[in-house]
Every structure is written in C-alpha cells, then in structure tokens.
Amino acid sequence: MKIAVLSRNADLYSTRRIVEAGRLRGHEMLVIDHLKCSLVLEKSKAKVIYKNEEIEGVNAIIPRIGASVTFYGAAVVRQFEMMKVFTATESQALVRSRDKLRSLQLLARAGVGMPKTAFASTAKSIDLILEEVGGLPVVIKLLEGTQGIGVVLAETYNSAKSMFEAFLDLDANILVQEFVKEANGADLRVFIVDGEVVGAMRRQGKTDEFRSNLHRGGTAELVKLTKEEKSTALKCVKKLGLSIAGVDMLQSKRGPLVLEVNSSPGLEGIEHATKADIAGKIIEFVERKVNVHQTEKLL
C-alpha cells in the first residue's frame, strides 16, 4: 500500500514514527509537505501537484496539519478526498475541531462536561463574563493558540481586564474559562484511534505553572482512566467526527471536564509515557479502512 503522511517536517517525532511503523508493515511511505502542494481542478477531475509532479497511486493519507495552516491543509485533504483517496482525518472534522469555540459548542450540546466558558467581543462584557465563569482567577485563551501558547491565568480583576482588552485590541478571538483549582496544574491526554482508547497519560505542569503542556516543561505518566473519563473522551471524538484524536480533560470534583480535542495529537509524549506503539495502531487503522474503502469503490 502507498501511504502519504501530510507533514511539513519529515524529522518530527510523530512523522518519523508513523513512517517507520508503515514501513515495518511493508507499506510504501511518503512524506508530503502540504504547503508545497498545488491543487488543480477541472470538470470531474482533481489533481495534487508536488515538486512539479502529479501525485498518483496513493491509497491513503495521514494528515498531520498544524493549527497555523489549517485552511490550506484542509484544502489539500479535501483535494485527496475528491480523488477518492482515504484520509485518516477527514477535512470537515479537521476544520470542525480546529475551531475551538465551535467544537466546545458541539460538545456542550452533546452533554459533555467542560469548564464554564464565555466568549465576547467587547471589554465592556468583562464583569458579566467573570461572574458567569465563577469569578477569579480565570483562564484566558486565544482561539488559535496551541501547545499552551496564548493561554494565560488572570488572578486579579485588573489583570483580567487588561489582558482581555489587549487581546481584543489585536483583533484576537479569545475564550475566558473557569479555573479548576482542584486539577492542581495537571490534565489528562487520552489518545484515540478508530473509536478505541490506545493510550492515556496524566500531564503535570511545572511548579507554579498552571499549564500542563509537555512543550512548556511539563511531565507525563501513564494513567488508568475511570469509566466516565473513557466514555467522555470517546463521546467527544464521535461528536466531532474524528478517527484519530487526543482529548485533553481535567479531573474535577464534578467529573471529567474537557478542554479541547486535538485532531493532530503528538505521539512523542504518549508513546514515552505509555510505552505503547501508537504509530502502529494508526497504520493498522489505515489498513482496515483502506480495505473497506477499496471494496466500496468496486461495488
């Protein structure tokens, strides 16, 4: 089978592991920088051009699309979909998950627990927002932030107001969320492939750091999920239509509270913490689905 990984950097741990896992199972693995792809459309035909050559014969793609290039990355995935190539992450699910507000709205409607969250476009709403999310301290997040970047903790009224105003002055879209004190600077990352939890870890932030992201110096350890935590994670990916995802949640007195669902979760932290072959699970998923996909095309 010929499988293409859409990634801007072939040396990234996640990309290398997926390529390695695919080759170990006898597949031809390609790494394609989606930003260097040209898309050509005409009646009843779609092409992807990469390095001046048309991409042909690919059976499946595994998108590893960074948040900063979601629009173009999703367009490339959509082009492959038009070419009847199986994709491990569908374009619509990718776009849906990357819109943090939209995804939280969908999850809230589905009855998923989450920290109290508010969204507004004017600093005049700050008093109302603080009251609605339970008062200070609060977490203020950029909608486009990743890996803990653009996430700040406001502990006083003046700091919350100044941060709110500063972000809005930059025309940035932000969320204000309840600060869940009992989480103690830790969260859970649940990795799901094809409707199955294949790994879970607890990430702990550094001392005096409320963000638990490993990119911010946090640590990770294997964790056994409760039945409620597992069912919550599975409900999230089903609602957002994702086959591969990392669900981040807090452990609270009122049960698991979902922070976000990542459609291109990194493999390094979860594989090291769990000692599980997550990359291999992804390749196995693609194998199963491509067989079904090809059978459907023949019918």
pLDDT at 121: 81
Which residue ranges form the domains of the chain, and what is each CATH number?
2-89 (3.40.50.20), 117-179 (3.30.1490.20), 182-279 (3.30.470.20)
Instruction: Collect the ranges in the chain with pLDDT lower than 50.
Output: 298-299
pLDDT at 215: 54
pLDDT at 118: 94
pLDDT at 245: 98
What is the rounded distance in angstroms from the CA atom of residue 204 to the CA atom of residue 273?
Answer: 12
pLDDT digits (tens, 9 = 90+) for 109-146: 999 999 999 998 877 888 999 999 999 999 998 877 55
Give me Rg for the CA atoms of the chain.
20
- Find all residues with CB under 8 Å of 138, minimum gap 6, and list them: 130, 153, 154, 160, 176, 177, 178, 179
What is the rounded distance in angstroms from the CA atom of residue 212 to the CA atom of residue 220?
Answer: 9
pLDDT at 235: 98
pLDDT at 298: 47
* Sheet containing strand 28-32, strands side by side: 28-32, 2-6, 60-63, 86-87
- Whole-model pTM? 0.90
Q: Nearest 5 degrees, angle CA 96-CA 32-CA 270?
A: 60
The CA-atom distances, in angstroms, between 138 and each of 40, 131, 156, 158 are 47, 10, 9, 12
pLDDT at 167: 86
